[in-house]
Amino acid sequence: MLAYTLPDTRFISRFFPNLIVYYGPILGKNANSNTLDNLLRQLKKEAQKRGAVRVDIRTPCPFREMHNVFVKNGYVRYDPGGEYSVVINLTKDENTLWREMNSGARRDVKRAIQSSVKIKEVADKRDLCSFYEIYVRTARRRNFVPYSFDFFNAIRLKLEPSGVAKSFLAWRGGIPIAGILNTIYNDQSVVFINASLREYWNHRPNHLLHWHSICWSKNEAKAKTFKLYHLPKSRSLKNGIDYYSFKTSLGGNLIHECYFYYKIVSQIKWQVLETPSKLLQIGNAIRILQHAQRMRKSGIA
């Protein structure tokens, strides 16, 4: 799947319109290093044609020769703090899955039910608009570039009818308060997107959404595993939120399964984007130094 931001997402994207991300798995069972080499070459051409600044790839742990192909094609491996996934075995019965959840997670699922939170699938475009509004507000809160509405609509029209994806909304009192998008591939159900309104967190809609998705993936999608990806190796607060504890509380095993690579497609555009950030960092460093000097002169330090 190739996804990129459209000009309506941010003002700056009108000048640098495409952030291209290739989501794995990128290789089939019979693939070799030549397959990966050809894929990366084609991806570079597509990125250049679309005017991309940078290409990011998240891939399952490659063999050493695969890593060498990435390096040969100019990619740099980096760790954004998300090389681990929680993998839940869905071949177990539902009662066992419930018991293997953290007691706090089970309590939060019950709390959501007691708070009259209801889970319904995204049935039409109106529901999708509600999902997208929650998603955009989540993007603002977590400071990431959101996909376009057309991207979600394409998933609804093209993927959901074939059973490759399924979206759900959490409602309370007639108000949509959280949403989840599950994708299914090779007997594996993956939480691709999870979004929520922070002012309703006390009702625990995310816990109920994930439990509902686990049950749906097992019973309806007939998936054998359920995955929550993009976790650090250990507990880490990001924007004051402990996503690690939330995801690991749902049971399953923490598995190191992927690497991240990036490649700068346009050095000129990248420098233009990076310059303000570097200037800001330099400015902050100067202000900290000046503050320390003032404190020394005043005898405080």
Amino acid at 161: P
Instruction: Report whether 7 contacts 148 (CB < 8 A).
Output: no
**40 and 69 in contact (C-beta within 8 Å)?**
yes
Residue whose C-alpha is closest to residue 226's, from 88, 83, 84, 25: 88
4 in Cβ contact with 18 (< 8 Å): yes
Predicted local distance difference test score (pLDDT) of residue 24: 52
Instruction: Please indicate whether residue 82 or residue 189 has the higher confidence score (pLDDT).
Output: 189
Phi, psi of 283 (to 5 degrees): -60, -40
Using only the alpha carbons of the chain, give its radius of gyration. Answer: 22
For the entire predicted model, the pTM comes to: 0.72
Q: Do 244 and 296 fall within a single domain?
A: no
Of 179 and 8, which is predicted with more confidence?
Answer: 179
Query: Are both 47 and 184 inside the same structural domain?
Result: no
User: What average pLDDT does this structure show over 161-168?
Assistant: 92
- Bridge partners (DSSP) of residue 87 are 227, 253
The confidence score (pLDDT) of residue 239 equals: 55
Q: Taking a C-beta distance cutoff of 8 angstroms, is the pair 47, 182 a contact?
A: no
Dist CA 186 CA 237 (whole Å):
32
CATH of the domain at 240: 3.40.630.30
- Higher-confidence residue of 144 and 205: namely 205
Neighbours of 54 (CB within 10 A): 18
Distance (Å, rounded) from C-alpha 129 to C-alpha 132?
A: 5
Q: What pLDDT is recorded for position 14?
A: 42
Both 92 and 27 in one domain: the answer is no
Q: How far apart are CA 31 and CA 24, in angstroms?
A: 13
- Same domain flag for 118 and 223: yes
The total number of residues written for the chain in this structure: 301
Give tens-digit pLDDT for 218-258.
999 999 999 998 888 877 666 557 888 999 999 999 988 77
Residue pointed to by tokens 């889970």:
119
Residues 299, 180 within the same domain = no
User: What percent of the chain stands above pLDDT 70?
Assistant: 76
Which segment, 163-177, 228-242, 265-279, is predicted with the most confidence on average? 163-177
Q: Which residues span the domain enclosing 53?
A: 2-79+260-266
Distance of CA 25 to the CA centre of its chain: 15
Task: Give percent of the chain above pLDDT 90.
Answer: 43
Is residue 225 located within the same domain as residue 301? no
The answer to which of 137-146, 168-177, 203-212 has the lowest mean pLDDT is: 137-146
How far is the C-alpha of 217 from the C-alpha of 183, rounded, in Å? Answer: 10
State how far the Cα of 141 lies from the Cα of 139, in Å rounded to an integer: 5
Q: Residues 236, 272: one domain? A: no
Q: Is the same domain home to 236 and 94?
A: yes
Q: What is the pLDDT of residues 44-102, one digit of tens each?
A: 888 888 777 788 887 766 667 788 889 999 999 887 777 888 999 999 999 999 999 99
Mark whether 166 and 115 lie in a shared domain: yes
Instruction: Tell me, yes or no, whether 247 and 275 share the same domain.
Output: no
In this prediction, residue 216 has a pLDDT band, given cuts at 50, 70 and 90, of very high
Q: Phi/psi of residue 148, each to 5°?
A: -75, 165
Higher model confidence: residue 197 or residue 186?
A: 197
Lowest mean pLDDT among 30-39, 242-251, 271-280: 271-280
Q: Structure tokens of 72?
A: 């040969």
Rounded CA-CA distance 136/73 in Å is: 34
Please tell me which residue, 197 or 56, carries the higher pLDDT value: 197
Residues 183 and 213 in one domain: yes
Work out how many domains the chain is built from and give that number.
3
Q: Is the pLDDT at 288 greater than 80, yes or no?
A: no
Of residues 117, 33, 99, the one with CA closest to residue 70: 33
Answer for the pair 251, 215: CB distance below 8 angstroms, yes or no: no
**Same domain? 161 vs 293:** no
Describe the crossing of helices 205-219 and 103-114 by its angle, rounded to 10 degrees. Answer: 100
Kindly report the average pLDDT of the chain as a whole number.
82
